[in-house]
Amino acid sequence: MHQGMNTQDVTQPDRRNLLKGLAIAGGAMLATPTLAKAEGNVTIAPIGTSSLNDRQPFYGARQSGIVNPRPAHGMIVSFDVIADTPDELQDLLKRLTDRMVRLTHGGTVETGDPKLPPPDSGILGPVFKPDNLTITLSLGASLFEKRPWLAGFKPKSLRRMPEFRNDALLAEQCHGDIALQFCANTQDTNIHALRDILKNLPDRLVINWKQEGAVPVVPPRADGVHENARNFLGFIDGSANPNGSDTALMDKLVWIGADDDEPAWAMNGTYQAVRIIRNFVERWDRTPLGEQERIIGRQKMNGAPMSGGDHESEVPDFASDPEGVHTPLDAHIRLANPRHPHGENNLILRRPFNYSNGVARSGHLDQGLLFICYQANLDRGFVAVQHRLDGEPLEEYIKPVGGGFFFVLPGVAEEGGYLGQSLIATLKT
Ligand code: HEM
């Protein structure tokens, strides 16, 4: 149950009808075929052949956990930081990097002195396997703003996540000085890693909130087709996500490069938007199928567009449907990506997980989407897409209650380095 969940969580927003006229120069719409590829998509459903021995690289110019396919379990944890000087921040970043190297590699648990607390929680036994674990570190605006010596170094559009029009944000589930995204094949690996970090950095990190999520394991279909996972509204989610293995596309959409107007230390970083979006699943389950499909803009069973086809990889054709006869003009996918010639500017890389937290005080299931997305430019990416979605009919069934905006640090290129090294070097010169 959400502590402090207020009555807003069950209010029924008015059905909004403000999107007429948003045909966006109808005939000018173009399909964007690069979006249709499901293979290499980070949201492709885990297929069940994952192993405890799967290992993601820790070292690299960019952090892991963003463009690699999403494993079955994910978790976002927000912390406040105890660091009053650049040296103390450096100490945090170095020690956190050490833990991340060890945890993502796997290893043998040290036993230590029986008179002292054991060095490891032991929840994975004497040997813990890498299990596909990635831990991705990102920084919140408050880390910079609370520290005068750091304030001038903030990435350009990093700011506290504002309240969008359908939001009912709960203070205890929002923001933070830093966030860690944990992704692994199994939930226990994420929890083990979190407990290790809490145990080893109590002098530097104070936990604020956490949200776990998961996606179903879906074996390939009989015809070999590999699908994206479903969300808790029963729709396939991720069909039109940009291909995470297309490095040129990821350089353009996700990673900060020399052309971006950002401080030099931020190169190879990216912006992370996290949204904890409650789904009113009981209400949704009582909504006619045709209406559900019109609200999303895709067919429920196979994920195909309303404009035709029988597979999620078909590209929606809005150009020949300017009045919204097949795909309503205010359908979720049509607003999120009108497939307008300039829409390419607003593409985001989504990496969401479904969450199930128990029962809310209202007596309804507390389920929803731990929405996470990445983009090189926060305003052109998440913020622009969210503003287009403001007022969508789907709002009657969803309520964003938490999350935050964060900046993902560049990766650690090689052994001996640490996360945030370029920032610390800039601070100290
Ligand atoms: C609980 C909330 C949400 C649900 C249930 C949901 C569900 C879906 C579904 C079923 C699709 C179609 C399949 C696909 O391409 O992935 C989709 C597409 C999409 N959604 Fe959402 N979504 C939610 C929130 C959001 C938010 C907050 C954003 C961004 C602000 C967003 C952005 C998009 C985008 C960009 C697409 C792809 C559109 C396209 O290119 O065709 N969604 N969503």
Q: Report the relative pairing of strands 365-375 and 205-214 from DSSP bridges.
A: unpaired
Q: Which of 142, 111, 140 is nearest to 125 (CA)?
A: 111
- Please, which residues have CB within 8 angstroms of residue 171's CB and are 6 or more apart in sequence? 4
- What's the rounded Cα separation, in Å, for the pair 423 and 86? 10
The residues near 230 (Cβ < 8 Å, ≥ 6 apart) are 216, 236, 237
Question: Which of 2-6, 17-21, 48-52, 78-82 bottoms out in mean pLDDT, i.e. has the lowest?
Answer: 17-21
Cβ atoms of residues 408 and 303 within 8 Å: no
Whether residue 233 has its Cβ less than 6 Å from ligand 1: yes
How crowded is residue 203: how many other Cβ atoms within 10 Å of its Cβ? 12
DSSP bridge partners of 405: 273
Q: Could you list the beta-strand ranges (E) of 53-126.
A: 73-81, 107-108
Cβ(230) to ligand 1 under 6 A? no
* 385 pocket-lining for ligand 1 (C-beta < 6 Å): yes
Q: Is 170 in the pocket of ligand 1 (CB under 6 A)?
A: no
Non-local (6+) Cβ contacts of 410 within 8 A are 61, 62, 63, 265, 266, 267, 268, 269, 422
Q: 298 with 306: CB under 8 angstroms?
A: yes
Torsions phi, psi for 358 (to 5 deg): 110, -145
- Name the average pLDDT for the chain: 90
CB of residue 332 inside a 6 A radius of ligand 1: yes
Q: What is the pLDDT of residues 87-98, one digit of tens each?
A: 999 999 999 999
CB contact at 8 A, 331 and 297: yes
**Integer Cα distance of 39 and 246 in angstroms:** 10
How much of the chain exceeds pLDDT 90, in percent?
82
Residue 330 to residue 126: CA distance in whole angstroms: 54
Three-state secondary structure call for residue 34: helix
Nearest CA to ligand 1 atom 30: 386
* 140 CB-contact burial (10 Å; exposed 0-12 / middle 13-18 / buried 19+): buried
Closest protein CA for atom 34 of ligand 1: 336
Tell me the C-alpha distance between 101 and 104, whole Å.
6
User: How many angstroms separate the CA atoms of 211 and 222, rounded?
Assistant: 34
- Measured by CA distance, the residue closest to atom 31 of ligand 1 is 336
DSSP codes, 258-320: TTSSS-GGGTT-EEEEEEEEEE-HHHHHTS-HHHHHHHHTB-TTT--BTTS-SSTTSPP--TT
Pocket probe for ligand 1: among 281, 300, 333, 385, the residue whose CB has the most ligand atoms within 8 Å is 333
From the alpha carbon of 233, which atom of ligand 1 is closest? 5
CA of 336 to the centre of ligand 1 (A): 7
The ligand 1 atom at the shortest distance from the C-alpha of residue 238 is 16
Nearest protein CA to atom 42 of ligand 1, as residue: 336
Please give the number of the atom of ligand 1 that sits closest to the Cα of 279: 1
231 lines ligand 1 (CB under 6 A): yes
* Ligand 1 centroid to residue 333 C-alpha, Å: 6
Q: What pLDDT was estimated at residue 14?
A: 33
Token readout for 206 is 């104070």
With a 6 A CB cut-off, is 314 part of the ligand 1 pocket?
no
Q: Which atom of ligand 1 is nearest to the CA of 237?
A: 16
How much is the average pLDDT of 370-388? 98
**pLDDT tens digits for 258-272?**
999 999 999 999 999
Residue with tokens 């650690």: 412
62: three-class secondary structure by DSSP? coil
Ligand 1 centroid from CA 284, angstroms: 16
The pLDDT, as a whole number, for residue 343 is 67
Of the residues 237, 300, 330, which should be mutated to test ligand 1's pocket, given the most ligand atoms within 8 Å of the CB? 237
Measured between alpha carbons, how far is 298 from 307 in angstroms, rounded to an integer? 8
How crowded is residue 370: how many other Cβ atoms within 10 Å of its Cβ? Answer: 24
Give tens-digit pLDDT for 253-302.
999 999 999 999 999 999 999 999 999 999 999 999 999 999 999 999 99
Q: What is the pTM of this model?
A: 0.91
C-alpha Rg value of the chain to the nearest Å: 22
Partners of 41 in the β-ladder: 243
Which whole-number Å values give the CA distances from 175 to 59, 207, 272, 361, in the listed order? Answer: 27, 12, 12, 24
Confidence of residue 189 (pLDDT cuts 50, 70, 90): very high
Does residue 327 line the site of ligand 1, with CB under 6 A? no
